[in-house]
Amino acid sequence: MLDEIRQQPHALERTLASAVRGIELFRAKVAKKRPSLIVLAARGTSDNAALFGRYLLEIATGIPVSLAAPSIHSLYNAKVNYKDALVVAISQSGESTDTNLVLARARERGSMTLGVTNESSSSLAQLAEYVFHVRAGKERSVAATKTYTGQVLMMYLLAYALGADVRLDDLRRLPEWCAAALTLEPEIRAFSERYRFMDHAVVVGRGLNYSNAFEFALKMMETCYVVAERFSSADFLHGPIAMVEPSFPIFLFAPRGVTRPSMREMLEKLKSLGAETVIVTDQRDGEVAKLASRVIRVPVRLNERFTPIPYIIPAQLFAACLAEQKGFDPDRPRTLTKVTRTL
């Protein structure tokens, strides 16, 4: 897991370099008939990448985005009207049975279909009309890391293809920003020891980093066996905050930008309750950093739109290091396998 976390700058660089030609061809295609709806189908970590895609695509393109419920097809055999929709299946292995079924049903009904996968010879790659290949290389750890950031990169490229104000030159800087985040590994390894006996936690994010709250929580659950709940800052204030007591551990993603006021309000409330708050941010000072118990500071200044990939790197490192602190092997979580097939 740690090796694959460290590979992410090169994996992103390789993915972007190989994807541009196909993205431009796809861009020309959708320019002739722009979809009126985007449906994203995924499971597990890929579903978290899809959640990011929902926020980015709606913000940047104005096209409504729906996250598919695969059981509508696999269990209920519903007949869904995908007219004028772009249906996108996202899967690391390309072998998620129900995700592929969503794509198959959409294609049967004449929808434009796109597959995002790390496996070019997978069932998904054969099924989709168009394919965006994540060039992360073989991912051996059960806990997905480099394929998650590769899928998130593909959501940026999809937004670009759909005419969003996303510059390829900005995306080319993502490997550099990830490399900067990776320099935090020694600090995070030492920092993780404090949480060796942690058995429950909450992760909070909002907007473009809401998906990171899900992904960070998932990594702690599957590698460290920590019961980790995930919320937006708005939802957390609507009830779940009642469970907070002194020293309760809460991890928050706190970028600059439009979500900062709500994160500041959240931190003020949590501080008054005596919670132990850890924020991931690139801010060097300011009210948000001062309100937190501890700060994981990504050593590069970032526009909020490009924080999700660099911000998840410290979270991945923390989960891998915490698993080791707890005496677990993060590469072999109990009861899990790399490919999960569900209906």
SS (H, E, C) the chain: CHHHHHCHHHHHHHHHHHHHHHHHHHHHHHHHCCCCEEEEEECHHHHHHHHHHHHHHHHHHCCCEEECCCHHHHCCCCCCCCCCEEEEEEECCCCCHHHHHHHHHHHHCCCEEEEEECCCCCHHHHHCCEEEECCCCCCCCCCCCHHHHHHHHHHHHHHHHCCCCCCHHHHCCHHHHHHHHHCCHHHHHHHHHHHCCCCEEEEECCHHHHHHHHHHHHHHHHHHCCEEEEECHHHHHCCHHHHCCCCCEEEEECCCCCCHHHHHHHHHHHHHHCCEEEEEECCCCCHHHHHCCEEEECCCCCCHHHCHHHHHHHHHHHHHHHHHHCCCCCCCCCCCCCCCCCC
Q: Which stretch of 107-111, 193-197, 313-317 has the lowest confidence by average pLDDT?
A: 107-111
Q: Are residues 44 and 94 in the same domain?
A: yes
Which residues are CB-neighbours of 282 under 8 A, at least 6 positions away? 255, 256, 297, 298, 299, 300, 301, 302, 307, 310
Say what the pLDDT of residue 336 is: 60
Which residues are CB-neighbours of 39 under 8 A, at least 6 positions away? 65, 66, 67, 68, 82, 85, 86, 87, 88, 102, 106
Q: Are residues 93 and 153 in the same domain?
A: yes
Considering the domain boundaries, does residue 334 fall inside one?
no
Query: What are the tokens at 111?
Result: 């929808």
Say what the pLDDT of residue 166 is: 95
Q: Region 251-257: what's the mean pLDDT?
A: 95
Q: Are residues 135 and 209 in the same domain?
A: no
Q: What separation in angstroms does the CA of 115 have from each of 75, 104, 187, 306?
A: 22, 11, 38, 23
Domain termination residue (choose one: 142, 169, 196): 169
| pLDDT of 27 over the 60 cut | yes
Phi–psi pair at 231, nearest 5 degrees: -145, 160
Place of tokens 């998650």: 148
At 74, the pLDDT band (50, 70, 90 cuts) reads confident
Considering the domain boundaries, does residue 82 fall inside one?
yes
Q: Are residues 92 and 113 in the same domain?
A: yes
Q: Are residues 149 and 255 in the same domain?
A: no
Domain at 190, CATH number:
3.40.50.10490
Question: In which domain, by residue range, is 203 found?
Answer: 176-325
Considering the domain boundaries, does residue 296 fall inside one?
yes
Say what the pLDDT of residue 340 is: 58
Considering the domain boundaries, does residue 340 fall inside one?
no
Q: Are residues 187 and 288 in the same domain?
A: yes
pTM of the model: 0.95
Do residues 63 and 15 touch, judged by C-beta distance below 8 A? no
Say what the pLDDT of residue 139 is: 87
Total number of domains in the chain: 2
Considering the domain boundaries, does residue 147 fall inside one?
yes
Q: Are residues 160 and 229 in the same domain?
A: no
At 286, the pLDDT band (50, 70, 90 cuts) reads confident
Tell me how many degrees the CA angle 240-208-92 measures, rounded to the nearest 5: 100
CA distance 261 to 247: 23
Say what the pLDDT of residue 335 is: 66
Considering the domain boundaries, does residue 281 fall inside one?
yes
Say what the pLDDT of residue 149 is: 98
Give the bridge partners for 65, in sequence order: 38
Considering the domain boundaries, does residue 336 fall inside one?
no
Domain termination residue (choose one: 143, 169, 195): 169
Say what the pLDDT of residue 339 is: 53
Q: Are residues 157 and 182 in the same domain?
A: no
Average pLDDT, the chain: 93
Say what the pLDDT of residue 16 is: 96
Q: Are residues 115 and 261 in the same domain?
A: no
Considering the domain boundaries, does residue 343 fall inside one?
no
Q: Are residues 154 and 93 in the same domain?
A: yes
Q: Are residues 86 and 39 in the same domain?
A: yes
| pLDDT of 284 over the 90 cut | no
At 212, the pLDDT band (50, 70, 90 cuts) reads very high
| pLDDT of 337 over the 70 cut | no
Domain termination residue (choose one: 130, 148, 169): 169
Phi–psi pair at 202, nearest 5 degrees: -125, 140
Q: Which stretch of 180-184, 230-234, 289-293, 331-335 has the lowest confidence by average pLDDT?
A: 331-335
Q: Are residues 28 and 160 in the same domain?
A: yes
Query: What are the tokens at 71?
Result: 């059981």
